[in-house]
């Protein structure tokens, strides 16, 4: 006879599976279909060993970029360009651009090839070399900063680039589950009163931290905003 506890666990797992809601990206035009087809091919043929974001995390990046009408996205950790192309799905509609940093010359070359295949190479700039040094040449404003490189380096990137992130802009960090996240970075984004942070898509090897740089809610001149209502 199956123990009740085991049976209850099995039923609960089945219910969770039945109740989960999933969707797949759908193309609204031929240009978008071309990009989605390239992303699918990359996931199948280039995914192994590239430490790419998951498809769901990529879709999240696209949603955040388009919803914020981002004009300048800065990515640390290009890899083969998979996450960058998700960004470009949105940037092609916002009129924005992607600046992405990669220390590995071979991966940078592969990313350029993939950007060209997807037809987004004109909106991307791949910067080769140590990003800790390269980011000092960046100019603001940055609408979205995406961190997906050396986890212990996140705090350095944050300190150097947060001043360039516009008010209302986002700092998005990948691999933010407890086994991989740098405690110093987590402390920095959760204890600073000028920032608001949530953690999404928490999986074994994923996890995304989304941090907003708060806007100053005071009108010019420092006066309190007028009350609304009777």
pLDDT band at 7; cut points 50, 70, 90:
very low
Contact 198, 210 (CB under 8 A): yes
pLDDT band at 217; cut points 50, 70, 90:
confident
The residue extents of the domains of the chain are 28-167
Share of the chain above pLDDT 90, in %: 70
What is the mean predicted confidence (pLDDT) over 189-209?
89
Burial of 167 by CB count in 10 Å (0-12 exposed, 13-18 middle, 19+ buried)? exposed
Q: Residue 21: what pLDDT?
A: 62
pLDDT band at 220; cut points 50, 70, 90:
low
CA Rg, the chain, in Å? 20
Bridge partners, 196 (sequence order): 212
Q: 16 pLDDT exceeds 60?
A: no
Q: Residue 4: what pLDDT?
A: 56
Q: What is the CATH architecture of 28-167?
A: 3-Layer(aba) Sandwich (3.40)
pLDDT band at 15; cut points 50, 70, 90:
very low
pTM for this structure? 0.84
pLDDT tens for residues 31-89?
Answer: 999 999 999 999 988 867 557 888 999 999 999 999 999 999 999 999 999 999 999 99
């Amino acid at each position: 006879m199956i123990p009740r506890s085991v049976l209850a666990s099995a039923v609960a797992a089945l219910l969770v599976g039945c109740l989960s809601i999933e969707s797949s990206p759908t193309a609204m035009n031929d240009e978008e279909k071309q990009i989605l087809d390239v992303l699918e091919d990359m996931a199948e043929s280039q995914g192994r060993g590239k430490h790419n974001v998951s498809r769901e995390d990529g879709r999240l990046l696209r949603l955040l970029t388009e919803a914020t009408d981002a004009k300048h996205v800065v990515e640390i950790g290009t890899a083969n360009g998979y996450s960058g192309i998700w960004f470009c799905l949105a940037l092609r509609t916002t009129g924005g651009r992607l600046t992405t940093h990669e220390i590995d010359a071979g991966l940078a070359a592969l990313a350029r090839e993939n950007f060209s295949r997807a037809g987004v190479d004109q909106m991307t700039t791949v910067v080769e070399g140590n990003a800790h040094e390269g980011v000092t040449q960046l100019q603001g404003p940055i609408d979205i900063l995406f961190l997906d490189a050396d986890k212990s380096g996140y705090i350095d990137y944050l300190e150097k680039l947060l001043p360039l992130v516009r008010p209302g802009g986002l700092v998005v960090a990948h691999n933010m589950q407890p086994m991989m996240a740098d405690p110093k970075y987590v402390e920095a984004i959760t204890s600073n009163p000028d920032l608001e942070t949530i953690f999404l898509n928490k999986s074994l090897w994923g996890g995304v931290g989304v941090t907003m740089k708060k806007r100053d809610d005071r009108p010019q001149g420092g006066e309190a905003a007028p009350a609304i209502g009777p």
